[in-house]
Structure 1
Amino acid sequence: MSVIADQAAEVTVSEPSLIGRGFMAYQRFDVVLHRDGEPPLQQRRDLLRANKVAAVLPVDLARGEVVLIRQFRLTAHFVTGRGEMVEIVAGRVDEGETPAEAASRECVEEIGAAPSRLVELYSVLPTPGITDESVTFFLGLIDASNLPERCGLAEETEEIRPFAVSIDAAIAALESGLVANALLVSALQWLALHRDRLQDYARNPAA
């Protein structure tokens, strides 16, 4: 049986041309995909250069709670009509930062609580057809007993509202289908699979 895994491609990629730039650069590439025994396949692909993101599932083990946030997203407003999304902590990795450093900083900025420990879990490409965004997920161990009502950076015009819920309630939200943020869904799926081993992860990241 062949291994089910991503693998390297034999491909030629042009230098990028800039289509536009806002908060991020939007670039175009000409691609030649080389195929065994077949003519090369020529493609043109446009990418939003979003780069690295750190995402954190903040858990208070003593209270059996997960900390989530509410934040307005224009995309959700357009697509589902529910722009006030429920999410987990997440943000871009700044130049010179490691994903773990960004994860800790984002916890302070978005929920007002620094994790006592971070455990790296997994990484994904959430939308590889349109952006190079790469998300590394962490389990963050926190104290959820004194969350602020609002968080976020004024210079980024953020309004973020953190709140704590039981692990049962978080997993029930996943099962309800009423939350659509992909990072939240992914993190809660991990939580549903590993909730009985959270203490092991807290003691031993390789659990």
Structure 2
Amino acid sequence: MTEKKPEPFQFKASDVQVHKRETVFKGFFRMDKLWLTHPRFDGTTMPEFTRELFVRGDATCVLPYDPERDEVVLLEQFRLGAIGRDQSPWLLELVAGMNEKGEDPEDVAHREAEEEAGLSFTRLEKICEYLVSPGGTTELVYLYAGQVSTENAGGLYGLDHEHEDIRAHVFSAEETFAMIHDGRINNAAAIMAIQWLQLNRDRLRRGWGQS
């Protein structure tokens, strides 16, 4: 008799027992330390262990795309986390911003498009939601594509009081695909959104381009 294949997701959040939690750092970001246990797949219980958790709010990222001109807007800005690698720490990224408490992701998308690129979305299409790095951080990203006109796009943007210094670039869709292929674009949100565009480009040009 064939043994039944185990199904995934047999455990729930309520199966995790957090015995203690304390904030060990609070600055621009927050770091908590947790003491916890949880059941194991073999039916036993994991001995109590500790983990540090990077507590960061959710974010919204949007790929601005003009279906008529077949062009994409990407933002170039400095990113501290890329220092020390064999590349420039100025990255090409999507329009993005942190979600304030109780804020709708689509509201964040519209706000950040104006602040970071001087753009206005005429429609948004949700791509997915994803956990950025669940082994150590709470952050979840709401990922969208947004319809724009790139006719007058580009230039310098950003809020001084947030120490933002942003240059908006306009690229053909084919250029962005090439930059994924050769590694010039190597941040997760941009890769995911641009690869989604590759899969949905013809549909968007037929559908979005008619509005």
CA contact (8 A) 2:68 2:205 kept: no
2:12 to 5, 8, 33: 8
Cα 1:115–1:15 change in 2 (3 A) is farther
Alignment of 1:1-207 (within 5 A): 8=12, 10-35=15-40, 36-199=42-205, 202=208
- Local SS of the residue matching 1:105: helix
The answer (yes or no) to whether the contact 2:74–2:93 under 8 Å persists in 1 is yes
Q: 1:151 to 1:4 in 2, by over 3 A?
A: farther
Aligned-partner Cα distance in 2 for 1:14–1:121: 37
Q: Distance in 1 between matches of 2:153 and 2:93?
A: 16
Larger Rg computed on CA atoms: 2
Structure 1 residues 137 and 3: CA distance shift in structure 2, 3 A? farther
Gap change, CA 1:6 and 1:64, over 3 Å in 2:
farther
Residues 5 and 103 of structure 1: CA distance in aligned 2, closer, same or farther (over 3 Å) = farther
8 Å contact from structure 1 (residues 55, 138) kept in 2? yes
**CA distance 1:92–1:34, change in 2 (3 Å):** same
C-alpha separation between the residues in 2 aligned to 1:141 and 1:88?
13
- Verify the 8 A CA contact 1:119 1:201 in the aligned structure 2: no
Instruction: State TM-score, norm by structure 2.
Output: 0.88
Output the CA distance in 2 between the equivalents of 1:5 and 1:80. 39
1:145-186, Cα deviation, whole Å (9 max, x unpaired): 112410111110100000111111111111112222111111
Q: Could you state the TM-score of these two structures normalised by the residue count of structure 1?
A: 0.89
Matched residues in 1 for 2:97 and 2:108: separation?
7
Count of residues in correspondence between the two structures: 203
* Aligned mates of 1:85, 1:157 — CA distance in 2: 16
Which AA in structure 1 matches 2:153? L
Q: 1:176 to 1:19 in 2, by over 3 A?
A: same
Tell me the alpha carbon deviations over residues 43-97 of structure 1, each in whole angstroms, 9 at most, x when there is no partner: 2111111121000010011111010010011211223341111111111011231
Instruction: Decide whether aligned partners of structure 1 residues 40 and 7 sit closer, same or farther in structure 2, where only a CA change above 3 A counts.
Output: closer
Partner-residue secondary structure (3-state), 2:190: helix
Q: Distance in 2 between matches of 1:150 and 1:166?
A: 19
1:55 counterpart letter in structure 2 = C
**1:41 deviation in Å?**
3.6
Give RMSD over aligned pairs: 2.1
Q: Give the AA of the match of 1:146.
A: N
